[in-house]
Amino acid sequence: MRTSDITNRFTESVIREMTRVANAHGAVNLSQGFPDWPAPQVIKEAAAKAILSDVNQYAITFGAKPLREAIAELYLKRYEMQVNPETDLCVCCGATEAIISALLATTNRGDEVVIFTPFYENYGPDCWISGAVPRFVPLRLTKVNGTIRWMFDPDELRRAFNDKTRAIIVNSPQNPTGHVFDEHELKVIADLCIQHDALAITDEIYEFITYDGHRHIPIATLPGMADRTITISGLSKTWSVTGWRMGYSVAPRDITLGIRKVHDFLTVGAAAPLMEAGAVALRMPDSYYAEMQARYAARRTFALDMLRASGFDPVVPEGAYYIMADFSALRRSADEDDTAFAMRLVKEIGVATVPGSSFFWEKGPDNPGRSFVRFAFCKQQATLDAAAARLKALHA
């Protein structure tokens, strides 16, 4: 028996594979982006209380009312976005499911979806599964006012849009680069969406993790974009509950209706007791967000110093909790690519990363990621200390 042609177009997740390799070799896992510190006690207690109170059966398919109301309150408070919790929301099993549900609900076979590269590895397979055709536009390292940033060429982006373009996926803050799209960049994207009657499907899962004055701007808040944006986010990263799989989409009611239909037949619904806890999480005080940002900022500084001292050339992220680092100076030979280097790092040094090529679509020697690996610094200080100690062996 053979598998479908669609599944033959992509591999299993390289990120999750590197976690398995890390576990097999007892390595410090800086590959997969999950915080290794405890979730806030108050939301764990809320989840336990819900389970003990027998909130253990199906909730409303598109999300329990308390969580939907908390999401609507958050968007009004943070972004002045008016969200109707009865018609404009769908709670999904993680932002990952929300994205594939959004694509299945809005694209037809042959429609094109614009994706910036490097990109989170799910986006390409999500397009293929939904029958859409991904059209890639590169972010390139560019010096702007003395700072190296990952930037797109507006003219190149304009050429990617055409009469087949149905949507663009915008991930900000971005995984893997940490790029935060500023208002000027978002306006270029918004103008193209309006001109070509295209949707913006946004992945904003790292929305509360930014640095150095960069701020997250939902593209839905720009003029003309409220009716053509599917905003996607979730609890995983902000509240250290990646295993809860709690995400959601915010979109106009007609689009939300389609997403709810797909979601219903993909997963039925998210975990009922965890939705009760999610409502508690979203109503935590502003001090929680400030403390979380300070924690990540300190980890970023440590990780950048660690990588520079170890011989890497890291690109400073503006948001999220990843660092793309050039390892060219550490190659054993000219033909050692990112995959070979990552495997050597995990097996011989005991630190796991993600090969940079997995975030690009090009194959072989033309892949721009062959000189990069991605590090996740969302770890306890003890974890980062252990990684720093092991990385010293690169110079032994």
Q: List, for residues 225-248, the tens digit of each pLDDT value.
A: 999 999 999 999 999 999 999 999
For helices 253-267 and 94-106, the axis angle rounded to 10 degrees is 120
* Farthest CA pair distance, the chain: 61
**How confident is the model at residue 361, as a pLDDT?**
85
Q: Is the pLDDT of residue 365 over 90?
A: no
**How confident is the model at residue 9, as a pLDDT?**
81
**H/E segment holding residue 199:** strand 199-203
CB neighbour class for 11 (10 Å; exposed up to 12, middle 13-18, buried from 19): exposed
- CA-wise closest residue to 113 among 177, 183, 156, 162: 162
Angstrom distance (rounded) from CA 49 to CA 230: 32
Q: How far, rounded to the nearest angstrom, does the alpha carbon of residue 168 sit from its chain's CA centroid?
A: 15
pLDDT in tens, 269-281: 999 999 999 999 9
Q: How far, rounded to the nearest angstrom, does the alpha carbon of residue 382 sit from its chain's CA centroid?
A: 25
355 strand-pairing partners:
373
Kindly state the average pLDDT of the residues 287-302: 97
**How confident is the model at residue 18, as a pLDDT?**
85
Q: How confident is the model at residue 262 (pLDDT cuts 50, 70, 90)?
A: very high
Q: Is the pLDDT of residue 11 over 80?
A: no
Q: Is the pLDDT of residue 4 over 90?
A: no
The pairs formed by 185-191 with CB atoms below 8 angstroms and a separation of 24 or more are 185/151, 185/152, 186/217, 186/219, 186/222, 187/222, 188/154, 188/157, 189/157, 189/219, 190/219, 190/222, 190/223, 190/224, 190/225
Name residue 37's amino acid.
W
Angstrom distance (rounded) from CA 210 to CA 194: 28
pTM exceeds 0.85: yes
Q: How confident is the model at residue 395 (pLDDT cuts 50, 70, 90)?
A: confident
3-state secondary structure of 236: coil
Q: Which CATH class is domain 7-32+287-395?
A: alpha beta
Angstrom distance (rounded) from CA 286 to CA 33: 24
Q: How many helices (H) and strands (E) are present in the chain, helices listed first?
A: 12, 15
CATH 3.40.1360.10 matches 41-284: no
**How confident is the model at residue 396, as a pLDDT?**
63
141 strand-pairing partners:
150
Kindly state the average pLDDT of the residues 81-92: 98
For helices 65-79 and 272-282, the axis angle rounded to 10 degrees is 30
Residue 65 main-chain phi, psi, to 5 deg: -55, -45
pLDDT in tens, 160-218: 999 999 999 999 999 999 999 999 999 999 999 999 999 999 999 999 999 999 999 99
Token couple for 7: 């599944």
Q: How confident is the model at residue 6 (pLDDT cuts 50, 70, 90)?
A: confident
Residue 136: count of CB within 10 angstroms of its CB = 17
Angstrom distance (rounded) from CA 321 to CA 386: 18
Residue ranges matching CATH 3.90.1150.10 in the chain: 7-32+287-395
Residue ranges matching CATH 3.40.640.10 in the chain: 41-284
Q: For 131-185, where are the E strands, in sequence order? A: 133-138, 140-144, 147-151, 165-171
Angstrom distance (rounded) from CA 268 to CA 113: 26
Kindly state the average pLDDT of the residues 246-255: 98
3-state secondary structure of 146: coil
Token couple for 198: 């295209």
Inter-residue contact 244 to 250 (CB < 8 Å)? no
Lowest-pLDDT range of 14-23, 230-239, 295-304, 309-318 = 14-23
For helices 286-309 and 381-391, the axis angle rounded to 10 degrees is 10
Q: How confident is the model at residue 136 (pLDDT cuts 50, 70, 90)?
A: very high
Angstrom distance (rounded) from CA 181 to CA 348: 37
Q: What is the mean pLDDT of the chain?
A: 96
Residue 232: count of CB within 10 angstroms of its CB = 28
Q: Is the pLDDT of residue 375 over 70?
A: yes
Kindly state the average pLDDT of the residues 126-138: 96
pLDDT in tens, 339-364: 999 999 999 999 999 999 999 988 88
